[in-house]
Copies of this chain bind each other. A is one copy, B any other.
Amino acid sequence: MFFEGSEKKVEVVMTSSSDSLRSLDKVFWEKLVSLSNAEILSSVHNEQCDAYLLSESSLFVWHDRFLMMTCGNSTLVNSLLSFIEKVGVVNIQSIKYQRNKEYLGYLQTSSFTEDIEQLKQIVDGKAYRIGHLDMHHHHVFYYGNGLVEDSISSELLMYHISGNAAAYLRSDSQKKADIRTLLQLDTLFPDFAIDDHLFEPLGYSINGLKKDKYFTIHITPQESSSYVSLETNLDINAYQSGLFIRLLDILKPGSWDTISMNTQVEKQALVDSYCIGSCELFLNQGKEIAVKQYQQPWHKHLFAEQI
């Protein structure tokens, strides 16, 4: 029943003189996605963005950038290497390749270290590990060529979900509409065009799109290794204070991390939780990545699972 929910992620921003990425046809993106051992399941579009739901997470394509995230034992670095080769590094303004610590890293095709060994052969970026090697930690590889327009992103990564919502997400006869209601998505993300998918035997993904803004949620509900991620480029503090808190309240994770790029998610912690990790990293051109890790007091009650 094990599935690695933890995502690898890449954002590539093109130079202003490059052709629009949206002029590339669907076959181009299908091939790129296939190099990660994933496929396009469905999509939703508006005047600014194409959002693809993948068999392993999501792909968003704007005129000047794309964001791809893949979970499971996907090989996202291969998609990235192929993209760089196809468009030429000279047309790329910045690359941000990120990888969270996986639940079971030894099942992955490559380590982050191996990924960046390949990347560094063609782009002169810097790589960091944020966090202790024996705890949750986050890897980032960053390449920037000149001034890149600031982008904002906020991530909420939840581990070991519990309670009624978790029980429903592990049950047999789920419905997409019921999951949307459970997550209060109508209230949290009104007026977003959405595209969602229920996986067999378990798992749920949703992309939401509104003008140039997106949100994406991926749920791996399996016991012992449950993981739910939310990512958005909404400025969540300006947009809807307490967005993270609402989701934490619904999904009741034992622990969670927040990762924010050029924004603050300070006010998004539950009052009675421990902060067990905190770091700010400044990349070049003032770009800031902040990582915070929280644990519920009750999460210390470990269990012995027979294996």
The interface of chain A, by Cβ under 8 A from chain B, is 101, 103-106, 108, 111, 113, 116, 126-137, 139, 159-160, 224-225, 254-255, 274-279, 281, 291, 293, 295, 299-307
Selected from B126, B132, B136, B304, the residue in CB contact (under 8 A) with A134 is B136
Q: Which of A111, A132, A279 has the most CB of B within 10 A?
A: A132
- Copies of this protein chain in the complex: 2
Q: How far is the CA of A113 from the CA of B106 in the complex (A)?
A: 11
Report whether A128 and B307 are in contact in the complex, using a CB–CB cutoff of 8 Å: yes
Please name all residues of chain B whose beta carbon is closer than 8 Å to the beta carbon of A159 when the two chains form the complex.
Answer: 132, 134
User: Could you show 23 A-B contacts with beta carbons less than 8 Å apart?
Assistant: A101-B134, A103-B134, A104-B133, A105-B105, A106-B106, A113-B307, A116-B307, A128-B306, A129-B307, A130-B302, A130-B304, A130-B305, A132-B160, A132-B254, A134-B136, A134-B159, A274-B274, A275-B300, A279-B301, A279-B304, A281-B304, A291-B302, A293-B302
Q: How far is the CA of A295 from the CA of B133 in the complex (A)?
A: 14
Residue of B nearest to A224 (CB): B133
Q: Would you list the 10 A-B pairs with minimal beta carbon distance, nearest first?
A: A279-B302, A281-B304, A106-B106, A128-B304, A130-B304, A105-B106, A131-B302, A277-B302, A103-B133, A129-B305
Selected from B127, B225, B291, B299, the residue in CB contact (under 8 A) with A133 is B225
Contact status of A127 and B307, CB under 8 A, knowing A101-B134, A103-B134, A133-B224:
yes
Kindly list 4 other residue pairs between chains A and B, CB separation below 8 angstroms, not including A104-B105, A105-B105, A131-B302: A103-B133, A130-B303, A134-B160, A139-B307
A299 to B: closest C-beta gap in Å: 8
Q: How far is the CA of A299 from the CA of B132 in the complex (A)?
A: 9
Residue of B nearest to A289 (CB): B304
Q: How far is the CA of A276 from the CA of B131 in the complex (A)?
A: 17
Please name all residues of chain B whose beta carbon is closer than 8 Å to the beta carbon of A105 when the two chains form the complex.
Answer: 104-106
Contact status of A278 and B302, CB under 8 A, knowing A106-B108, A134-B136, A135-B135:
yes
